[in-house]
Structure 1
Amino acid sequence: MSSETPERQESPAAGYRRSAGSARGEARRRELLERVTDDLAVNGLVDFSLRRAARAAGATHKVLLYHFDSAEDLLGRAVFTLRERRIGNAMAAMAEGAERRTLAERVRVAWHTLRDEEPGLRRVLDQAIGLAMYDPARYGDLGHGASGQYLPLLVSYCPEQWTESRKLEVAQMVLATLRGFIVHRAIGGDPEGAAAGFAALVRALDHEEA
């Protein structure tokens, strides 16, 4: 991240927008966000700044600060949008025959979607988690937000007859394990080891559902 990024004001979910309440303003805001999101997907988070975002959006930094609370607010919303794309890809892959799949089979489809997704999307979302770990006081929401987006999908994979607490516990286990595999792959880890670890996760899920 560039040092020119302003201090954080509020979380992306709760921030006040001066353009709120205007249909035209909301449309412009969505357009700017989409352009910045596309830039992140191609160029990643390294050297992200308000200046770079303005250049990608074809606007000035003052225009961006009219529609977004801060550079952090804009970044958080762009990362959120990219995660929505990842979740949409997983749901699309899951759509055919989803009702006949076991929990383990559903997680396998989700993992294959993550494993084979476009490199730009995977890189920027990995970088977002890394940034949250590097500076949790400033960017922790990039990590917390990931759990908030992924867990409902994983909970939905669980058998309907399970209690909500059991669904959440298993979903958290799956999320933590898959994150470990993603980090393993990102740092050039042994792919055979990751495959063996995933096979063990699948066996554990089969046992959990039996």
Structure 2
Amino acid sequence: MDEDGRPAYRRSTGSRRGEARRQELLARVTDDLAANGLVDFSLRRAARAAGTTHKVLLYHFDGVDDLLTQAILALRDRRIDGALAASGAVPDTLSARVRAVWPVLVGEESRVLDQAIGLTMYDPERYAELGRGASQQYLPTLVGLCPPDWSDARKAEVAQLVLATLRGFLIHRATGGDPAGIDAGFAALTRALDREEAAG
């Protein structure tokens, strides 16, 4: 296989032992990605981080793009787990839950996940799944933060609003945006959510 990520070996499938090994390798690569970001990510760097060879990684993954995508998904899952833990420890209002989630979103995984969104915009043909996957991963969590008595349609609408707004804040923050302006915008979002919830 070359550095473009074209697989030259058969990917492992099926066995419980093979899947356990795959998850172990993925966790190591994900830790490296969280610490060092996407710049210069390659199959050889991933192999060093995993303590194995690039041939072993190619046995378990369909090339460098598949490995990168799986690691990004794993980082998002970590972020979602943190968000759920934070939101579960606050009063039972949507705005309070969103306020609790925000520090998790700007935590240590933020830099890498923002870079992943940048890849999606830079090369949508190659990395479109990273962008689509983000919405698919985050929206169910945001729907779950909404009041349980809302209709499914209303929950979906508000979740889309929150996702798009928070993503905008994150991109603005990552590109050197004004922190005071982001704080003011976030406060405006939570006031809007309070009004939405008060509307019944």
Check if 1:149 corresponds to 2:140: no
Aligned-residue offset at 1:101: 1.7
1:59-138 map, 5 Å: 59-97=52-90, 100-115=91-106, 117-118=107-108, 121-138=109-126
Aligned-residue offset at 1:132: 0.8
Aligned-residue offset at 1:7: 4.9
Aligned-residue offset at 1:150: 0.5
Q: Which amino acid aligns with 1:198?
A: F
Give the secondary structure class of the aligned counterpart of 1:19: coil
Aligned-residue offset at 1:86: 0.6
Q: Quick check: 2:87–2:98 contact (8 Å CA) kept in 1? A: no
In the alignment, the residues of structure 1 paired with residue 87 and residue 194 of structure 2 have an alpha-carbon distance, to the nearest angstrom, of 18
Check if 1:53 corresponds to 2:43: no
In the alignment, the residues of structure 2 paired with residue 140 and residue 134 of structure 1 have an alpha-carbon distance, to the nearest angstrom, of 10
1:154-206, Cα deviation, whole Å (9 max, x unpaired): 00011111111111111000000001111111111111111111111111111
Q: Spell out structure 1 runs of 4+ moving beyond 6 A.
A: none
Aligned-residue offset at 1:149: 0.7
Structure 1: gaps spanning 5 or more residues: 9-16
In the alignment, the residues of structure 2 paired with residue 202 and residue 123 of structure 1 have an alpha-carbon distance, to the nearest angstrom, of 24
In the alignment, the residues of structure 2 paired with residue 93 and residue 163 of structure 1 have an alpha-carbon distance, to the nearest angstrom, of 24
1:180 aligned residue: 168
Q: TM-score, normalised by structure 1?
A: 0.88
In the alignment, the residues of structure 1 paired with residue 127 and residue 164 of structure 2 have an alpha-carbon distance, to the nearest angstrom, of 19
Check if 1:19 corresponds to 2:12: yes
Please provide the CA RMSD for this pair. Answer: 1.6
1:91-131, Cα deviation, whole Å (9 max, x unpaired): 1112224xx4211111111113223x12xx11111101100
1:5 aligned residue: 4
Count how many residue pairs are aligned between Structure 1 and Structure 2.
Answer: 195
Give the secondary structure class of the aligned counterpart of 1:69: coil
